[in-house]
Structure 1
Amino acid sequence: MSTIKDVAKEANVSIATVSRVINKSPKASKASIETVNLAMKKLGYRPNAAARALVSQSTLTMGVLVGDVSDPFFGSMVKAIDTVATAQGKHLLIGNGYHSAQKEREAIELLINHRCEALVIHSKALSNDELIGFAKEIPGMVLINRHIPEIAQRCIALDNHRGSYLATEYLIKKGHQHIGYICSNHDIEDTHQRKAGYLQALKDNHLPDCESYIEYGSPDEQGGEMAMLNLLAKNQPLTAIATYNDYMAAGTLSVLEENNIEAPADMSIIGFDNGLIAKYLHPKLTTVRYPIQMMAEKAAALALRLANKEPAQAETQMFVPTLVKRVSVIAH
């Protein structure tokens, strides 16, 4: 592998001249730039990114922590961040946290060690105090889908409670009085907030909030299937189901079909997130829109501004979910 010394020898210039060309110093002459670039191309030399970062005190990378990049929700988030980063000449380094405190911590440390000055962090397992500590260390760190009061101006979040409340209230307005809830079994704030929104809507409308109406599962199709099977086994008088997300709703619909229960004629279903899957299910899924692309773009832009020591603009930090009405809910 070629070294900077090899490039200097090939170009017949000093190592200092090669360094100036690599780091785009204004002191590098046009002739030197042309000669050195030709030498680097001939030798297949690639400048060391870490070394360049030490000189310039900056990198062309932006760090992102997601739960699981294979999840389409996080795919949408990363794509939106990448659009903003690319426009600013940045490339992404991505870490997976898998809702594990240890993995989230390791991923954030790795991104920091790679000198990412702008970070967009989706963390559900780390404590508020630990995230506040990271935020103090990295001025360009922004949290997405998390609200911590002490660093609220650097948090881009969704009102999960309100979203679940809206979903449940919509079912109630359609005449449903016995409404089940299929809940995630992940011990994260989204789970607690969405379940609380469901329960609050029932309470405000003087409807039963029986624990037997609630089942838990992994927040995917398989979890939705198991939760719905358990609800059916309990033989509850349900006419509608609110779900933690669209994937659990998909699993729910599959179980209903297998058991000859027609949706929405026999059971109305409402999801959460408005992921790509929602409009391709049968029936097309009524759900709650999670504006993750808009939120991710906002978080990326904020992280880059903070990293550049630009003042943060006073804009919306808490996003509001809205209903997307399709055909999986009918009046009872």
Structure 2
Amino acid sequence: MITIKEVSELAQVSQSTVSRALNGHPTVKESNRAKVFAAIEQLGYKPNAFAQALASSRSNSVGMLVGSLDGPFYGPLMHMAEDTVRQKNLHLIVTSGQESHDKEADSIQFLQSRQVDGLIIHSDQLSDDELIKVAKQTPSTIILNRYIPELSDKCICIDNELGGYLATKHLLESGHTKVASITGQMSKIDSRDRLQGYRNALAEFGIEYNANLIVEGRFDHSGNHEAVRRLLDRDSDITAIFCQNDNIALAVYDVCSERGITVGKDLSIVGFDNDTYSQHIRPKLTTVNFPVLEMGVEAAKGVLALLNNDAYQLKTKLTPELICRDSVCKQD
């Protein structure tokens, strides 16, 4: 294994000069810098990342907290964030909170103990005050999928209320008057905002909000089938359902198949997220596109800009888009 001593001997400079050259120190003469890097190339020297971190006060890593390490939302989010930071020769360290306050707090403490240079946080359980404290401890922090006024320039959100409105409005414009909704966990602000968008659309069309047409589901796959059955058993006149994500929509497809209900004919469905499979199921699912890839890239760019004190206009609010396919029919 090639050592820094061998590099210094070949370059005919001190070991401290080699170290300063590797860390971009401005006091190193250009002639010595050139000799150091020529020696490194000739010897194939690989700098010790830990030693470099100590010398530069940088770990060359970014920490990321997400709700889960799998699924059609978090997977692409992590992928795009990792791809973006790697382009700048940094590494992404990811951990999950698993919908637990204590695990989210522990995960952030773990990342901070690893001296990460910045943080990307997708938290459902930590309070605004707790996240403000984290951002003070690690200034290069970006918060995903929620808005905190004190950190407004570091928060990236999708307009979930607009997304819920677009989904419900499409069903109402298609002639449906008894439109139900299956929400995600109501502990999540995404669910509450999407439900508000649903209510806004009903109000615009002069339709009274009916709490019996709302059932709480989950954004993952747990328990959604039972939620669908409960909803359909409550009211047989429901002709359309706004599902607050595409996993919930899949459960509706399954229960409809059990009961001989034809999606896109007997019952219209709009999902949310535009997951990859939404265009491969039949009928193809009409859904609201969540720009998760853009969110991942934007989060990483935001952290990198904060780390390097670069001027960068963070996109703090991303816009959802209705994707019309085949799961909605016109109601006479």
Q: TM-score range by the shorter chain?
A: 0.7 to 0.9
Q: How does 1:215-254 map to 2 (within 5 A)?
A: 215-254=215-254
* Alpha-carbon contact 1:239-1:268 (below 8 Å) kept: yes
State the distance in 2 between where 1:299 and 1:12 align. 40
> Which residue is equivalent to 1:90?
90
Structure 2 counterpart of 1:302: 302
The answer for the alignment partner of 2:22 in structure 1 is 24
Return the offset for 1:178.
0.3
- Residues 18 and 237 of structure 1: is their aligned pair in 2 closer, same or farther, counting only changes over 3 Å? same
TM-score (norm 1): 0.87
Q: Which amino acid aligns with 2:304?
A: L
Number of the residue aligned with 2:200: 200
Instruction: Say whether residues 1:109 and 2:100 are aligned partners.
Output: no
Give the equivalent residue in structure 2 for 1:175. 175
Pair 254,133 (structure 1): closer, same or farther in 2 beyond 3 Å:
same
SS of residue matched to 1:271: strand
Contact preservation (8 Å) 2:7, 2:18: no
CA distance in 2, matches of 1:19, 1:92: 30
Change in Cα spacing, 1:331 to 1:232, as seen in structure 2 (3 Å) is: same
Give 2:316's aligned residue: 317
How far off its partner does 1:50 sit? Answer: 3.7
Q: In the alignment, which residue of structure 1 is the partner of 2:63? A: 63
SS at match of 2:216: strand
Structure 1 residues 263 and 73: CA distance shift in structure 2, 3 A: same
User: Tell me, what secondary structure is at the counterpart of 1:208?
Assistant: coil
CA distance in structure 2 between the aligned counterparts of 1:331 and 1:298, rounded to whole angstroms: 38
Residues of 1 paired with 2:258 and 2:213: CA distance?
21
Label 1:79 to 1:185 Cα distance change in 2 as closer, same or farther (>3 A): same
Give, in whole Å, the separation in 1 of the partners of 2:126 and 2:42: 47
- Over 3 Å counting, the alpha-carbon distance change for 1:142 and 1:198 in structure 2 is same
After superposition, give the CA deviation of every residue in 1:80-136 in whole Å (9 maximum; x if it has no partner).
Answer: 112211211111100111222211111112222222212211111110111111112
Distance of 1:249 and 1:317 partners within structure 2? 28
1:326 counterpart letter in structure 2:
R
Of 119-128 and 196-205, more deviation after overlay is shown by 196-205
Confirm or deny: 8 A CA contact 1:8 1:36 kept in the other structure. no
Letter paired with 2:169: E
- What is the distance in 1 between the residues matched to 2:213 and 2:37? 76
Q: Distance in 1 between matches of 2:205 and 2:41?
A: 77
Q: How does 1:1-150 map to 2 (within 5 A)?
A: 17=15, 20=18, 24=22, 29-30=35-36, 33-34=39-40, 47=48, 49-150=49-150
2:7–2:40 Cα contact (<8 Å) kept: no
Cα distance change of structure 1 residues 34 and 288 upon mapping to structure 2, 3 Å threshold:
closer
Instruction: Name the structure 1 match of 2:329.
Output: 330
Structure 2 unaligned segments of length 5 or more: list them.
none
Report how far residue 171 of structure 1 moved: 0.3
Alignment CA distance shift 1:311-1:289 (3 Å):
same
Q: CA deviation at 1:323?
A: 0.3
Separation of aligned partners in 2, 1:312 and 1:217: 38
- CA–CA separation in structure 2 for the residues paired with 1:188 and 1:222: 16
Residues 135 and 243 of structure 1: is their aligned pair in 2 closer, same or farther, counting only changes over 3 Å?
same
- Would you say the 8 A contact 1:288–1:321 is kept in 2? yes
Q: CA deviation at 1:52?
A: 2.8
Q: Which moved more, 1:248-257 or 1:294-303?
A: 294-303
**1:279 is matched with which residue?**
279
1:164-199: CA deviation from partner (whole Å, max 9, x where unpaired): 011001100000000111112351111111112112
Tell me which amino acid in the other structure corresponds to 2:15: T
Query: For the residues of structure 1 that align with 2:37 and 2:323, how far apart are their CA atoms?
Result: 61
Partner Cα separation in structure 1 for residue 330 and residue 152 of structure 2? 40
- What's the CA shift string for 1:239-283, capped at 9, x where partnerless? 000011001000111100111001111000000011112111111
Whole-Å separation in 2 of the counterparts to 1:93 and 1:186? 29
Q: Take 2:100 and 2:244, find their aligned partners in 1: how far apart are those partners?
A: 20
Determine helix, strand or coil for the equivalent of 1:72.
Answer: coil
1:181–1:37 Cα change, 3 Å? same
In structure 2, relative to structure 1, the CA distance for the partners of 1:179 and 1:8 (3 Å cut) is closer
Q: Is the alpha carbon distance of 1:169 and 1:11 closer, same or farther for their aligned partners in structure 2, counting shifts above 3 Å?
A: closer
Output the CA distance in 2 between the equivalents of 1:92 and 1:8: 27
Distance 1:50 1:100, change over 3 A: farther
The letter for the 2-side match of 1:24 is L
SS of aligned partner of 1:283? coil
